[in-house]
C-alpha cells in the first residue's frame, strides 16, 4: 500500500472525495448519472462506492486513496475508539445503489466463513481479482438499505406452508420436487432441501424446459387474478430478465419486500436475498464477499451459498429508526451490528443539524447544498458531492438547504 505522510494532510479538516461508479449490467441508466450531474451515455451505473475498500477506494483531494489516509493515520482518521475495535481500517462501505433490473440471488458470509473461504481460495492459487473467485476479503457483510425511491426486493424465507400454497397448481418437474421436499419436512430443513434442488437444477438437462413450464403456469394464474398475484409478478419479471434461470422459481421461497422512500431493511449475513428495482442508499461492513446462486452473468458458487445461508423462515428485518428535529428532519437508522449506522437529514436553513459526533464520518449530499462546519473550518457540498470528516475534526454540523446522508460508526 502506498501510504502518505500524515504531515501532508490536515486531519482536522473535512476532505472531499472522488468515488468510483460501478457499471454493472443491472444498473440504472439515469439515477446515479443525475445525482452526479453527468450526461446519460447509454451505459448503466449500478453503484456509487464511498469508502476505503481495496476494490474501489475513494480518493481524497491530494489524489491519495482513503485507504492510504486511514493506514497513515488511523487514530486521527478513525478515532481511538474505532481503531481499537477494528484496527487500521474503515469498517463500513457506503453505496448509492440504482437497480433497473434484478440483482443476483445471493448471500453474504458470516465472519468465520469469510475468513475460511478467503484463505481456502488463496491456498488454491486464485488471483485476487479472478472472476471465478467468491471470497475477496476476510470480512462478513451485513448490510442495510434505505430507499430513496419506491424499492422492491426479496429477503429471507417464507414459511414452508406459505411456499406450498404458492406452488399449488404450478406445472414443471422441478416444482414437483420442491413440493415433495417441503411436504416431507415442513421446517428450515425442508427449505434447505428445496434450495438445494433449485441451485442444482441449473446444471440439469431439463432445467430450461422445467422453468418454462412453471413460468407458463404462473402466467396463466396471474391472468386469472389469483391472490398470489404479487409473487407471480415477481416470477414473471425474473423470468423475462433471466430466461431459463431457476432463480425465478426460487423467488417463490422468499419474502417480497416493498419499501417507500425513507423506509429501510437490514440484511444480516447469511440471509438469502435479491434486490429487484429502485434507488437506495446502502451501507454495509467493508466487504465485497457475494455468494451467488442465480439471476446473474457473474460467477455462481452454489456450494458456498448453501454453506453460508440461513434457512429459518422469518420476515425481513427492519432496523431501529429514530426521527428528530422540528424545522430540519433527521432520521437515524441502527442495525444490530457494530460496524455502521446511517443518518439522513433534510436540512432546513432555520435549523442546523448536528451530525455524528466522532469517528470517521462520510457525508453525501443527495439534493441541494450544505455547509459542513467543524471547529477548524468548513466545506461546501452540493448535490452529488461527498466528503470524509475525520475523527480529529471533532463535532460537525450541517447548515443550508439539502437532503444528505451521513455514515458513521456507532
Place of cell 462520510: 362
CB count, 10 Å around CB of 185? 15
**DSSP codes joined into one string, 230-244:** HHHHHHHHHHHHSTT
Rounded distance between C-alpha atoms, residue 26 and residue 38, angstroms: 19
CB 285 within 8 A of CB 142: yes
Q: Residue 124: how many CB atoms within 10 A of its CB?
A: 8
User: Is the separation of the CB atoms in 360 and 77 below 8 Å?
Assistant: yes
Q: Which residues are catalytic?
A: 292
Q: By three-state DSSP, how is residue 199 classified?
A: helix
Closest Cα to residue 327, out of 353, 304, 302, 308?
353
Residue 321 has φ and ψ, to the nearest 5°, of -130, 130
Tell whether the torsion through CA atoms of 219, 225, 228 and 229 is positive or negative: positive
CB 52 within 8 A of CB 60: no
Could you tell me which residues come within 8 angstroms of residue 267 by beta carbon, excluding any fewer than 6 positions away?
108, 142, 143, 144, 145, 155, 273, 317
Amino acid at each position: 500500500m502506498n501510504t502518505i505522510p500524515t504531515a501532508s494532510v490536515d486531519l482536522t479538516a473535512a476532505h472531499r472525495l472522488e468515488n468510483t461508479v460501478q457499471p454493472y449490467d443491472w444498473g440504472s441508466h439515469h439515477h446515479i448519472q443525475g445525482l452526479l450531474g453527468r450526461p446519460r451515455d447509454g451505459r448503466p451505473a449500478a453503484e456509487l462506492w464511498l469508502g476505503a475498500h481495496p476494490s474501489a477506494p475513494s480518493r481524497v483531494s491530494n489524489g491519495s486513496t482513503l485507504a492510504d489516509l486511514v493506514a497513515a493515520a488511523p487514530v486521527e482518521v478513525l478515532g481511538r475508539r474505532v481503531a481499537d475495535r477494528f484496527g487500521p481500517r474503515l469498517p463500513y462501505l457506503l453505496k448509492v445503489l440504482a437497480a433497473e433490473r434484478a440483482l443476483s440471488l445471493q448471500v453474504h458470509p458470516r465472519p468465520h466463513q469469510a475468513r475460511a473461504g478467503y484463505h481456502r481460495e488463496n491456498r488454491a492459487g486464485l488471483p485476487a481479482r479472478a472472476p471465478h473467485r467468491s471470497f475477496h476479503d476476510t470480512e462478513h457483510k451485513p448490510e442495510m438499505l434505505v430507499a430513496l425511491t419506491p424499492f422492491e426486493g426479496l429477503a429471507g424465507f417464507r414459511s414452508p406452508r406459505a411456499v406450498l400454497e404458492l406452488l399449488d397448481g404450478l406445472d414443471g418437474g422441478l416444482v414437483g420436487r420442491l413440493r415433495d421436499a417441503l411436504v416431507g419436512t415442513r421446517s428450515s430443513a425442508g427449505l434447505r432441501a428445496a434450495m438445494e434442488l433449485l441451485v442444482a437444477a441449473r446444471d440439469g438437462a431439463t432445467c430450461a424446459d422445467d422453468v418454462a413450464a412453471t413460468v407458463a403456469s404462473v402466467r396463466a394464474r396471474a391472468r386469472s387474478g389469483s391472490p398470489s398475484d404479487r409473487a407471480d409478478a415477481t416470477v414473471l419479471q425474473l423470468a423475462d430478465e433471466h430466461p431459463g434461470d431457476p432463480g425465478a422459481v426460487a423467488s417463490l421461497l422468499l419474502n417480497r419486500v416493498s419499501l417507500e422512500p425513507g423506509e429501510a431493511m437490514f440484511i444480516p449475513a447469511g440471509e438469502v436475498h435479491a434486490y429487484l428495482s429502485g434507488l437506495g442508499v446502502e451501507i454495509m461492513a467493508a466487504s465485497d464477499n457475494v455468494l451467488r446462486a442465480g439471476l446473474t452473468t457473474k460467477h455462481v458458487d452454489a456450494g458456498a451459498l448453501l454453506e453460508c445461508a440461513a434457512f429459518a423462515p422469518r420476515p425481513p428485518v427492519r432496523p431501529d429508526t429514530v426521527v428528530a428535529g422540528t424545522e430540519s428532519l433527521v432520521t437515524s437508522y441502527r442495525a444490530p451490528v457494530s460496524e455502521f449506522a446511517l443518518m439522513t437529514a433534510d436540512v432546513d436553513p432555520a435549523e442546523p443539524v448536528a451530525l455524528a459526533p466522532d469517528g470517521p464520518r462520510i457525508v453525501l449530499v443527495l439534493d441541494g447544498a450544505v455547509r459542513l462546519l467543524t471547529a477548524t473550518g468548513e466545506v461546501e457540498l452540493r448535490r452529488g458531492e461527498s466528503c470524509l470528516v475525520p475523527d480529529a475534526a471533532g463535532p460537525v454540523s450541517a447548515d443550508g438547504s439539502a437532503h444528505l446522508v451521513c455514515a458513521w460508526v456507532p
